[in-house]
Structure 1
């Protein structure tokens, strides 16, 4: 009887794999083209993914979400591994050279997505399901409200599912602790406080936030009913689950979390770190190669910093100048409103320059908000997003204004928020590509826009120009620090000292950043490597095209392709140059979006 039950479980577990096989076989029948086979494969995977990740069908660019949270137990993760492994094998059977140009791009993106998913599960990353500033217990709390009563009801379903979801994550974390795979203790310490706001069984609980922003299109009596249900489900389901999670983090996880820092010290550590480098960068570079690139960039940028420092009239040394910048009150906002107003001014200044910088402009506009109080103490200085661009107003003496222009360009416009708006309104692509994100491409573009601020005329003083170099140095130093920690075995103090010596960030920002690199191996190196590639492409295009080079068309070529692995971007930019710096015309219904 038990054997029959096990067989039944196995059939259910791997049914999606065999269903996918059947779909692919059907698409590869007589006369089926390579394009048709590929489309059948990635469309089937997307439909399966919606169900696996607890997503409702809807506008894939805005992300309608189901009335429950995804399963994250080990059995479900292993079933996903089987599914994605089989799908990757099927992808390899489709003749790449027979694909159309657009489907070749889709194939490259799809292959990288599958490889990344497989890598994460093979190394059991789900056993360490958070890092120094990104947490599964806050990730489903929306920044804004919803548009319909049905969306609110589905959100209530997700809140009601928190106990099961948290129990599965706790079981995974216990398995990770048992084999020595955890977030390092130093990057967990203090993060437990982000759970505390969720222990409140009243309207101040962050989960209740969307119910304070209900649209007038929902009738008042319906609003009141939904709000009452929210208070009940938060008090009866969410609060006990958060309390249990906090008890686990403080009494078990923090006690047993590893004290080592290096990813190379984890189970199968050297292979794990190399896999994380390739996942985040989409490049086949090794840790020593990245370390050397970082050292070279640090030396180059330091020379530029020396020159810019002299333009301010400062006569001391570079370390003395950094101390001056960190401590002089003139460089810091007095109130949160002052910081947010300054950020808003910078974004509008960038808006003015867009028509000369980028050809195709989106209609969608983002807002500017402060980082939520519950996250602010351990959060980065800013974070871009489609709806809003966040700026951290916590601990204002740690938030220099001279780096704010670079931060606003990177996170808001023409960086991440702008890029998200373009993706929202861009050409129709397969659904699986509408939400994909590659750090090398996305963060590379964000860092490139900081440099682009020079061309746009955003930086008004030598101090702001120095601030741009500070941020560029910060990303170059990451190459050295990330590989220093995870490959060469640096201590936390070594990493902090290297940052202090080279980057004019505040002590709070330096500490927060180093702890993030410790908890998230490989992610930090993607920024600079992506930016270096984009700037190399620009230089190549300028040299090859001469007077025909138009930066608006160059930027359109990068942005129109959407998020792609860096090798795919390399191919696209080679084609851009071969085509004489021209892009294919946009579909007729999109031409009104182009700037004059």
Structure 2
């Protein structure tokens, strides 16, 4: 069910904040000037990286789940819920154990879930993986037809609906040969695997053995990725040359300091912390890790570098997906997959533009009433706090509005300097299902986030964003299969939705909080519009520059960076902004449906308990149509 064999990393969206954010804020705050004056007058008068579920290893025997020893799907079983639960358990065991990195981040104690055998592998990645995934999905969908939704509990009905949707989406992905891209500038496997290896926990000696065996699988896996990229180039669908250069630079940086590499220091620290290992055993493992990195892992990254450098002159498209033969249809598929929205691209484009107008009008009205509001946000009292203090402030602040969730710990960590140029401003690593108490949030210090911007970023990643949503949902849902059903539109949309709300916890006045939230939403809408413009409407760099110049951007270097980032990460910004809009609209619809009884707390509790899902299903369950 997942595209890439890596566990969940929930990201903060990447902005060029240091270069353009403040120029945009200035543009939005200058009421009465230029286009903003015209827009206001017109209005007044009249938008983890996660482990692969349908891995190639399972796809080779798609009957494995269907013909299970628990007789799943047999009409002789009278207890529908018992049969369905058994089916889900077997499916989860099969998929969670498909690759070790996924299993380790999903479960701390796999044997408690009946998983005693697993492969120390990253899975497989080939051009025919989508077709094999589709065949597997078709088989499971056939089995699901044997379960009558009316005979299932409400929780199982919901899971059946979501599973049907997820598998149907997997089938749709089979139609696009060599369009998928595992190597992208900020969310590609080359930037995310190293972080996940650095965070790989050692609870016992078996974890160390598994980890070292996993390292030895990287050359095989990267060889498959290289072969896939060569096949993409032969099909005329290789990545833009500037994207290839960015990824090559990442790989060079990763291998630049082999003796003092962070995968050496983190391994040494974690192995030394295991008290059941003797000093000699610790030293032996540490030497083995160093040798594997130097002899196998770093050469695998060098192979990736050599392959991309060799293929970079075979790029035929340096712009959006729509310039490929089936690129427009693929983008439509990708947007639905990333956002969980069933709306057409044209509808999303209109909705994004309309919301931007509303936000700009609100900004102008607030500033007309109080021109000093921008100064208030710049002097926010939250600024001197450390990240840990900000998280504590947020956790206390949300207690009156959001459902109570289990006690948990969160550790703030910092991205290694070698990876700062390529990773998101911040990200949250999801905790294992059976150990929700320990969580980690990474901050990329190179982005220079501090004060109010850091505060809202931590709200996005922590409370009430990703960390809170993940821990709360898995504390109320006892179906582990749900952890393998990825809906980034829900998870990133929720984090963005509550990030904008978090301005109210920062000590700002109500109007200043509304101003900051509207400004941030307007910024995101520009990226969302540009994403659609570049990949669906065929915008060139000049077209993109013209669009942004309408809102005050003229820096050519920054505009080129924006264009190249969006080309390299199609639909990435939409999962944040469209996801946010879906939550925004659903909240408004719930208010209209229940004008006398609606509360924000009830809305939050409802959507959090349903959990990650496509928005058509979330909407149906929230509004009582299902």
Q: TM-score, normalised by structure 2?
A: 0.77
* Cα deviation digits, residues 134-192 of structure 1 (max 9, x gap): 22233333243432221122111111111111111100111111112233333333232
Is 1:239 equivalent to 2:298 in the alignment?
A: yes
Matched position secondary structure for 2:413 = strand
Deviation at residue 50 of structure 1 after TM alignment: 3.1
Q: Compared with structure 1, are the counterparts of its residues 200 and 482 closer, same or farther at alpha carbon in structure 2 (3 Å cutoff)?
A: closer
**Structure 1 residue aligned with 2:240:** 184
Q: Compared with structure 1, are the counterparts of its residues 466 and 347 closer, same or farther at alpha carbon in structure 2 (3 Å cutoff)?
A: farther
In structure 2, distance between residues paired with 1:310 and 1:419: 37
Q: Compared with structure 1, are the counterparts of its residues 202 and 369 closer, same or farther at alpha carbon in structure 2 (3 Å cutoff)?
A: same
Deviation at residue 379 of structure 1 after TM alignment: 3.0
* Cα deviation digits, residues 447-468 of structure 1 (max 9, x gap): 2102322554554697765443
Question: Is the 1:127–1:173 contact (alpha carbons within 8 Å) kept by the matching residues of 2?
Answer: no
**Structure 2 residue aligned with 1:359:** 403
**Structure 2 residue aligned with 1:114:** 167
In structure 1, distance between residues paired with 2:391 and 2:556: 26
Q: How many residues of Structure 1 are paired with residues of Structure 2 in the alignment?
A: 547
Is 1:88 equivalent to 2:133 in the alignment?
A: no
**Structure 2 residue aligned with 1:526:** 575
Considering Cα pairs closer than 8 Å and 6+ residues apart, tell me whether 1 or 2 has the greater RCO.
Answer: 2
In structure 1, distance between residues paired with 2:554 and 2:283: 47
Is 1:48 equivalent to 2:109 in the alignment?
A: no
**Structure 1 residue aligned with 2:419:** 375
In structure 2, distance between residues paired with 1:520 and 1:56: 23
In structure 2, distance between residues paired with 1:482 and 1:57: 34
Is 1:133 equivalent to 2:186 in the alignment?
A: yes
Question: Is the 1:445–1:531 contact (alpha carbons within 8 Å) kept by the matching residues of 2?
Answer: yes
Question: Is the 2:456–2:503 contact (alpha carbons within 8 Å) kept by the matching residues of 1?
Answer: no
Matched position secondary structure for 1:420 = helix
Deviation at residue 331 of structure 1 after TM alignment: 8.8
* Cα deviation digits, residues 241-296 of structure 1 (max 9, x gap): 222211112232x2223434222222422221111121112222111111111111
Is 1:271 equivalent to 2:329 in the alignment?
A: yes
Stretch of structure 1 that moved more, 129-138 or 156-165: 129-138
In structure 2, distance between residues paired with 1:484 and 1:507: 18
Q: Compared with structure 1, are the counterparts of its residues 247 and 237 closer, same or farther at alpha carbon in structure 2 (3 Å cutoff)?
A: same
Q: Compared with structure 1, are the counterparts of its residues 108 and 496 closer, same or farther at alpha carbon in structure 2 (3 Å cutoff)?
A: farther
In structure 2, distance between residues paired with 1:308 and 1:392: 33
Matched position secondary structure for 2:412 = strand
In structure 2, distance between residues paired with 1:480 and 1:374: 32
Structure 2 gaps of 5+ residues are 1-56, 111-117, 431-438
Q: Compared with structure 1, are the counterparts of its residues 59 and 244 closer, same or farther at alpha carbon in structure 2 (3 Å cutoff)?
A: closer
Deviation at residue 300 of structure 1 after TM alignment: 1.1
Is 1:515 equivalent to 2:574 in the alignment?
A: no
Deviation at residue 108 of structure 1 after TM alignment: 1.8
Deviation at residue 22 of structure 1 after TM alignment: 2.1
Stretch of structure 1 that moved more, 566-575 or 55-64: 55-64
Query: Given the alignment, which residue of 364, 388, 394 partners 2:440?
Result: 388
In structure 2, distance between residues paired with 1:498 and 1:562: 36
Is 1:350 equivalent to 2:394 in the alignment?
A: yes
Q: Compared with structure 1, are the counterparts of its residues 427 and 86 closer, same or farther at alpha carbon in structure 2 (3 Å cutoff)?
A: closer
Deviation at residue 402 of structure 1 after TM alignment: 4.7
Q: Compared with structure 1, are the counterparts of its residues 238 and 208 closer, same or farther at alpha carbon in structure 2 (3 Å cutoff)?
A: same
Structure 1 gaps of 5+ residues are 1-11, 316-320, 333-337, 579-596
1:168-567 equivalences in 2 (<5 Å): 168-200=224-256, 202-214=258-270, 215-219=273-277, 220-252=279-311, 254-309=312-367, 313=371, 341-386=385-430, 387-394=439-446, 396=448, 399=449, 401-429=451-479, 431-456=480-505, 458-459=507-508, 466-499=515-548, 501-502=550-551, 514-546=563-595, 548-567=597-616
* Cα deviation digits, residues 303-332 of structure 1 (max 9, x gap): 2233444577479xxxxx9xx99xx9x899
Question: Is the 1:128–1:181 contact (alpha carbons within 8 Å) kept by the matching residues of 2?
Answer: no
Matched position secondary structure for 2:602 = helix
Matched position secondary structure for 1:167 = helix
Deviation at residue 233 of structure 1 after TM alignment: 0.8
Q: Compared with structure 1, are the counterparts of its residues 503 and 400 closer, same or farther at alpha carbon in structure 2 (3 Å cutoff)?
A: farther
In structure 2, distance between residues paired with 1:249 and 1:59: 30
Question: Is the 2:339–2:489 contact (alpha carbons within 8 Å) kept by the matching residues of 1?
Answer: yes
Query: Given the alignment, which residue of 190, 196, 217 partners 1:161?
Result: 217
In structure 2, distance between residues paired with 1:339 and 1:59: 34
Q: TM-score, normalised by structure 1?
A: 0.81
Deviation at residue 110 of structure 1 after TM alignment: 1.1
* Cα deviation digits, residues 464-507 of structure 1 (max 9, x gap): 65443332112222331121111111113433553464489999
In structure 2, distance between residues paired with 1:292 and 1:453: 27
Question: Is the 1:54–1:68 contact (alpha carbons within 8 Å) kept by the matching residues of 2?
Answer: yes
1:95-110 equivalences in 2 (<5 Å): 95-110=148-163
Question: Is the 1:406–1:468 contact (alpha carbons within 8 Å) kept by the matching residues of 2?
Answer: no
Deviation at residue 37 of structure 1 after TM alignment: 5.0
* Cα deviation digits, residues 509-546 of structure 1 (max 9, x gap): 87655434322323322323332332333334445545
* Cα deviation digits, residues 347-383 of structure 1 (max 9, x gap): 2221221211212223112222233323321333222
**Structure 1 residue aligned with 2:76:** 30
